[in-house]
Structure 1
Amino acid sequence: MIPGETIADLEREVAVFVRHEHAASGRLGRETYPDLTAAAYGLLAHLADRGRHRPTEIAEHMGIASPVVSRRLQLLETLGLIERFPVPNDARAYLVGLTDEGRRRVAEVQDVRGRRLEALLASWPEHDVRTFAELLAKFNGSAAGPARHCGATGGDGRG
């Protein structure tokens, strides 16, 4: 059993991290692409990581209501960053995936974010950074749980 004080310390530090990261992501996004909100970029990054998916799968994975995801996807489609793909054997359903421009924008934002992280961690020994990445991956895996992963329904792995 983990002591309550340890959990409280962790909760506080995670909350601080989330607030800082959310603020930094918003700034970086606006500086890099003023037409992209942090939420819209989150959908782009999701598609870049996981390939084509149905909007309902994205909503379920991200814990966002389907109408909200639909509005964000509409914006991304209008900007030419995603496109729709038909689902074989289901004329009403579609998948969404990145366009070449969408992939380019995600790569550029990831590059900017990577340089920011590198600057923040410049004084850390490489071993500490590696350990932090491994522990954060372990935490994220625990937080995601089986119900929070996108299914492979209709996805072909391509963006």
Structure 2
Amino acid sequence: MSAKAASPERVGTRAHSLGRLEHEFGVVLRRVKRVLAERARAVHPDLPASSYLMLSYLDESGPCRSSAIAELFAMDKGAISRQVQHLADLGLVERTPDPADGRAALLAVTDEARRRMAQVQRDRRRWLDERLGDWSDEDLLAFVDTLSRYNASLDY
């Protein structure tokens, strides 16, 4: 740590900034919870927010095994199995045999789910663009770059 970073003024300011960061991310987390529920309902009225995250992952990443999803989301395989069944019952996910192991199944979003997810994404980006309309392209890029750096710093 440099001498400048260890000065009392810097420590107090940094501690205050870290507290503000925690507070702002608390606001973000509450907003994300609400937004996930709204997005889930936009895809299907009976879709829970937690299942929306799984559906979104499958939509972005392509077919995968439920065991990979359980590991990624740090969830019990039984809970994942129940969510997958619910998604299948809603017509949003389909199972196909895994070509690498016929005993296992791959999960993939249906065409209807893909269409609904794309519409939700378009609507959300339009909404964001309206809310951030007074941000310059440079401001937006700087924020995205900083947030990406923040997220990379917290990876372990």
Q: If the TM-score is normalised by the length of the shorter chain, which range does it land in?
A: 0.7 to 0.9
> Which residue is 1:33 aligned to?
44
* Greater relative contact order (Cα < 8 A, sep 6+): 1
Alpha carbons of structure 1 residues 32 and 58: separation in structure 2 relative to 1, 3 Å: closer
> Which residue is 2:111 aligned to?
100
Tell me which of 123, 127, 143 is aligned to 2:134. Answer: 123
Tell me which of 52, 66, 72 is aligned to 2:77. Answer: 66
User: Residues of 2 paired with 1:121 and 1:89: CA distance?
Assistant: 46
Do residues 114 (structure 1) and 125 (structure 2) align? Answer: yes
Amino acid at match of 1:13: E
Secondary structure, aligned partner of 1:58 = helix
Could you list the per-position Cα deviations for residues 44-100 of structure 1 after superposition, in whole angstroms to 9, with x for gaps in the alignment? 110111111111111211222222221111111111111112123423211101111
Task: State TM-score, norm by structure 2.
Answer: 0.81
Tell which deviates more after alignment, 16-25 or 84-93: 84-93
- More helix as a share of residues: 2
The Cα of 1:31 is off from its aligned counterpart by 4.6
Do residues 24 (structure 1) and 35 (structure 2) align? Answer: yes
Could you list the per-position Cα deviations for residues 99-138 of structure 1 after superposition, in whole angstroms to 9, with x for gaps in the alignment? 1111111101111211221122112122111111222233
Contact 1:28 1:112 in 2 (8 A): no
In structure 2, the gaps of 5 or more residues are 6-13
Contact 2:59 2:109 in 1 (8 A): yes
Secondary structure, aligned partner of 2:94 = strand
Contact 2:36 2:52 in 1 (8 A): no
Do residues 84 (structure 1) and 113 (structure 2) align? Answer: no
After the TM superposition, which segments of 4 or more aligned residues of structure 1 sit over 6 Å from their partners? none
Larger radius of gyration: 2
User: Residues of 2 paired with 1:141 and 1:65: CA distance?
Assistant: 26
In structure 1, the gaps of 5 or more residues are 146-159
Task: State TM-score, norm by structure 1.
Answer: 0.79
